[in-house]
Amino acid sequence: MKIRLHQFLSKSGEFASKSEVKQAIWNGEVSVNGSVVKDIAFQFKTGKKKVEYKGNELFLPVTDFYFLLNKPKGFICSRINSQERELDKVSVYELFRDKVDAKVFESLITVGRLDEDTTGFLLVTTDGKLVHSITEPKKHIKKTYRVETESVISDEDLSSIRSGLKVSVVEFGVDESFETRPAIIELEHEKCAILTIDEGKKRQIRRMFKFLGNHVVELHRLSTEKMKLSDYQLESGEFCQLTRGEINTALFS
């Protein structure tokens, strides 16, 4: 969504009045992406443009929070209910307890889900609109995984995954059938592949390989679009705070 320059400056907290905002713009003291802008009605998308006043970058107040978590194995991506508590399940949200403000903690939601045994890249936020924009199936956001399997991944398996599969498996006594979109897959070695999919059906990768007669031993998400977990140097269980601008640039530009 676009915002007018004078509105952005007024919300930044840098100016005491609207007249100060206008005067700063007219004086040529405000730049957007390095170019001086003297039009108070100039419109731009926040998060994609750098706004500076007298050489100092300005920001809108933070209303939502964004985190990148290196999810460890053994954690589920939901709040714990009584039944799960009895089974000694642990939520990824517990990794944030006492490390973020209590109100932020209560508002956290994961952007999609990784199953209990899957590790790696997981965005966690208070921004429900971001969650929808990333998980909306029509967006086809690309996610890349390292998949380690019990048996050798054959050339036929690679071809099937690249073409798209008509998967039919039985899990927990229920027959599950679905079709996958063509994916990108390359071998690291005969039992390990780097796989990129642009959809997110429940337990999709594990069920794909199960249908092919193989078993996924380890599953680790490496990245989402251009945002790579390795760039953030997070140990398992660690997280860092991001900006919406960083996410927009990596995922939507």
SS3 annotation, 208-234: HHHHCCCCEEEEEEEEECCEEHHHHCC
Helix (H, G, I), strand (E, B) or coil at 249: helix
Q: DSSP assignment, residue 176?
A: E
Question: What angle (nearest 5°) sits at the alpha carbon of residue 152, between those of residues 148 and 158?
Answer: 85
Using left for φ > 0, alpha for ψ between -120 and 50, and beta otherwise, residue 88 falls in: left
pTM, 2 dp: 0.76
For the chain, residues classed under CATH 3.30.70.1560 are 142-224
**What CA dihedral angle connects 198, 201, 203 and 204, to 10 degrees?**
-50
pLDDT at residue 134, as a whole number = 93
CATH placement of domain 2-58: 3.10.290.10
Question: What's the pLDDT band for 101 if we cut at 50, 70, 90?
Answer: confident
pLDDT at residue 223, as a whole number = 98
Cβ contacts of residue 181 below 8 Å, gap of 6+? 140, 164, 197, 198, 199
Beta strands of 128-173 (E only): which ranges?
143-149, 166-171
Q: Give the C-alpha separation, 93 to 176, whole Å.
A: 29
Amino acid identity of 202? K
Q: What is the pLDDT of residues 46-96, one digit of tens each?
A: 777 889 999 888 887 778 899 999 999 999 999 888 888 888 899 999 999
Q: Give the C-alpha separation, 203 to 169, whole Å.
A: 12
75 neighbors 92 (Cβ within 8 angstroms): yes
Q: What is the pLDDT of residues 3-48, one digit of tens each?
A: 889 988 988 878 888 889 999 999 999 999 999 999 988 998 877 7
Secondary element (H or E) of residue 11: helix 5-11
Tokens of 188: 């690291």
Number of H helices, E strands in the chain: 8, 19
Q: What is the pLDDT of residues 108-122, one digit of tens each?
A: 999 999 999 999 999
pLDDT at residue 47, as a whole number = 72
The reply to whether CATH 3.30.70.1560 applies to domain 142-224 is yes
Is 234 or 81 the better-scoring residue by pLDDT? 234
Query: Is the confidence at residue 127, as pLDDT, over 80?
Result: yes
pLDDT at residue 82, as a whole number = 81
Average pLDDT rounded to a whole number, residues 235-251:
93
In the residue annotation, 127 being an active-site residue is answered as: no
First-last CA distance in the chain: 14
For the chain, residues classed under CATH 3.30.70.580 are 62-139+235-253
Tokens of 64: 């939502």
Query: Is the confidence at residue 1, as pLDDT, over 80?
Result: no
Q: What is the pLDDT of residues 208-231, one digit of tens each?
A: 999 999 999 999 999 999 999 999
pLDDT at residue 32, as a whole number = 93
Catalytic pick from 88, 98, 115, 231? 115
pLDDT at residue 49, as a whole number = 86
CATH of 62-139+235-253, one of 3.50.50.60, 3.90.1150.50, 3.30.70.580, 1.10.20.10: 3.30.70.580
pLDDT at residue 94, as a whole number = 95
